[in-house]
């Protein structure tokens, strides 16, 4: 829970305190003070949180621009954070499409009635699940038998990704399915990237722009990285392929990945790959994998995942710096929006991403066929479980 969040505020079952931060867009259902003989009457207030204590909201869609109201917490029935702007089903589908291209299933992938069925490293859910990407999948029955048959060929469990709103039929599939934890998709517009704030590159050469970007990122480092680290030699790079140091630092659920799975991280995708790392005094201390892929509506999406900071360098601002570096890289390569994923229970990670300007867009979870949830390897695939895919959520 964020330190600044009042613990007495009621929280919707669809949300949680970590999302209640100053600047968040919220809907608040409050009781009217004049009680009726037939029970309480309620009214909804939609607006932006100006303050948490006292609770002040700047209302939207009222006749008074910028009207701020103070709400008595004792009158609140529920308070629920909302996305910064309305999210349509097509918006959810767009980011899920871009995410699927970033992790397409290297061993095998095919379309089945609007679902992209992916077989990859046999370890991570994101590369080994079927995801609904065409509009009709929000209403049509899931092609369960066909999905099961594909995964059966590779000795893997049938695993279905179920994003909010666009996968309702997935919750009515025949048979028993194990529901995984909530995973939050967070997004941020890149119209003004961190490294471009206060720096105009109009008319500048590529070298001059790069120098300005580097200078801006160093300013970010000065405000986020611990003083002890700032006295040392800090450099960063984003390469097309991961080097030995990058691969050595990467962990999945605290453990090294098999060599075959590591190779798949750098396999060619329908988009751009970048492997970011921060180096201090010659030692690689933080890494991430970045992708830029496109949704069918033409938007370019920066996704970054596999964030890892060497243990003795954690909680010193390197995660924030890594995010700024990747967002600058994405903007310079034409990305419109950045997205990432974080498991609901990872409150420190969510707080970090809020500070970077990310907000909740939607959620997804994985549904695993209970009859095959722990299938041993067959062929080139390895064992998969229903544990949450948290390697990119640290």
Tokens of 224: 């986020």
Return the pLDDT at 146.
98
- 38 pLDDT tier (thresholds 50, 70, 90): low
- 375 pLDDT tier (thresholds 50, 70, 90): very low
**Backbone phi and psi for residue 35, each to the nearest 5 degrees, phi listed first:** -70, 145
The mean per-residue pLDDT over the stretch 119-132 comes to: 91
* pTM score: 0.80
Domains and CATH numbers, the chain: 17-81 (2.30.30), 89-181 (no CATH), 187-192+217-362 (3.40.630.30)
Return the pLDDT at 35.
56
Burial class of residue 170, CB neighbours in 10 A (0-12, 13-18, 19+): buried
**Backbone phi and psi for residue 43, each to the nearest 5 degrees, phi listed first:** -140, 150
Distance CA 141, CA 315 (A): 46
Distance CA 11, CA 50 (A): 18
Return the pLDDT at 383.
32
Contact between 19 and 39 under an 8 Å Cβ cutoff? The reply is no
pLDDT tens-place string over residues 322-354: 999 999 999 999 999 999 999 999 988 898 898
Return the pLDDT at 67.
86
Q: Give the 3-state DSSP-derived string for the chain, with helices as H, strands as E and coil as C.
A: CCCCCCCCCCECCCCCHHHCCCCCEEEEEEECCCCECCECCEEEEEEEEEEECCEEEEECCCCCCCCEEECCHHHEEEEEEECCCCCCHHHHHHHHHHHHHHCCCCCEEEEECCEEEEECCCCCHHHCCEEECCHHHHCCCCCHHHHHHHHHHCCCCCEEEEECCCCHHHHHCCCCEEECCCEEEEEEECCCCHHHCCCCCCCCCHHHHHHHHHHHHHHHHHHHCCHHHHCCCEEEEEECCCCHHHHHHCCECCECCCHHHHHHHCCCCCCEEEEEEEEECCEEEEEEEEEEEECCCCCEEEEEEEEEECHHHCCCCHHHHHHHHHHHHHHHCCCCEEEEEEECCCHHHHHHHHHCCCEEEEEEEEEEEHHHCCCCCCCCCCCCCCCCCCCCCC
Percent of the chain scoring above 70 in pLDDT: 81
Distance CA 119, CA 157 (A): 10
Lowest mean pLDDT among 63-67, 133-137, 138-142, 316-320: 63-67
Q: Which of 314, 365, 361, 315 is nearest to 340 (CA)?
A: 361
Return the pLDDT at 377.
36
Return the pLDDT at 183.
96
Packing angle between helix 318-332 and helix 347-355, nearest 10 degrees?
50
Contact between 224 and 319 under an 8 Å Cβ cutoff? The reply is no
The mean per-residue pLDDT over the stretch 59-83 comes to: 81
- 207 pLDDT tier (thresholds 50, 70, 90): very low
Tokens of 270: 């329908």
């Amino acid at each position: 829970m964020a330190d600044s969040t009042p613990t007495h505020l009621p929280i919707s079952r669809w949300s949680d305190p970590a999302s209640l931060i100053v600047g968040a867009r919220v809907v608040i259902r409050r009781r009217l003070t004049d009680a009726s003989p037939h029970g309480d009457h309620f009214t909804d207030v939609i607006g932006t949180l100006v303050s948490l204590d006292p609770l002040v909201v700047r209302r939207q869609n009222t006749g008074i621009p910028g009207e701020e109201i103070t709400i008595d917490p004792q009158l609140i029935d529920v308070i629920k954070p909302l996305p910064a702007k309305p999210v349509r089903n097509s918006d959810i589908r767009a980011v899920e499409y871009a995410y699927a291209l970033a992790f397409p299933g290297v061993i095998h992938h095919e379309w089945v009635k609007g679902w992209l069925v992916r077989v990859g490293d046999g370890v991570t859910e994101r590369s080994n699940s079927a995801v609904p990407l065409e509009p009709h999948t929000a209403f049509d029955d899931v092609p369960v038998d066909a999905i099961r048959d594909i995964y059966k060929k590779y000795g893997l469990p049938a695993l279905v990704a179920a994003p909010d709103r666009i996968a309702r039929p997935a919750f009515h599939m025949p048979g028993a399915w194990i529901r995984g934890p909530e995973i939050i998709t967070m997004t941020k517009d890149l119209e003004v990237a961190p490294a471009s704030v206060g720096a105009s590159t109009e008319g500048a050469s590529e070298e001059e722009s790069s120098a300005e970007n580097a200078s801006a990122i160093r300013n970010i480092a000065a405000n986020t990285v611990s003083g002890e680290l700032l006295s040392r030699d800090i450099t960063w790079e984003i390469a097309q392929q991961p080097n030995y140091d990058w691969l050595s630092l990467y962990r999945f659920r605290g453990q090294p990945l098999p060599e075959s799975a590591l190779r798949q991280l750098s396999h060619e995708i329908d988009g751009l790959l970048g492997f970011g790392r921060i180096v201090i005094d010659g030692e690689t201390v933080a890494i991430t994998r970045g992708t830029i892929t496109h949704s069918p509506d033409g938007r370019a999406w920066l996704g970054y995942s596999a964030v890892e900071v060497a243990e003795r360098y954690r909680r010193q601002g390197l995660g924030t710096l890594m995010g700024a570096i990747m967002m600058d890289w994405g903007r310079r390569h034409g990305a419109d929006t950045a997205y990432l994923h974080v498991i609901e229970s990872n409150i420190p990670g969510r707080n970090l991403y809020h500070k970077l300007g990310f907000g909740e867009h939607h959620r997804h979870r994985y549904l695993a066929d209970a009859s095959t949830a722990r299938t041993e390897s067959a062929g080139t695939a390895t064992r998969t479980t229903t544990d949450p895919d948290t390697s990119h959520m640290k």
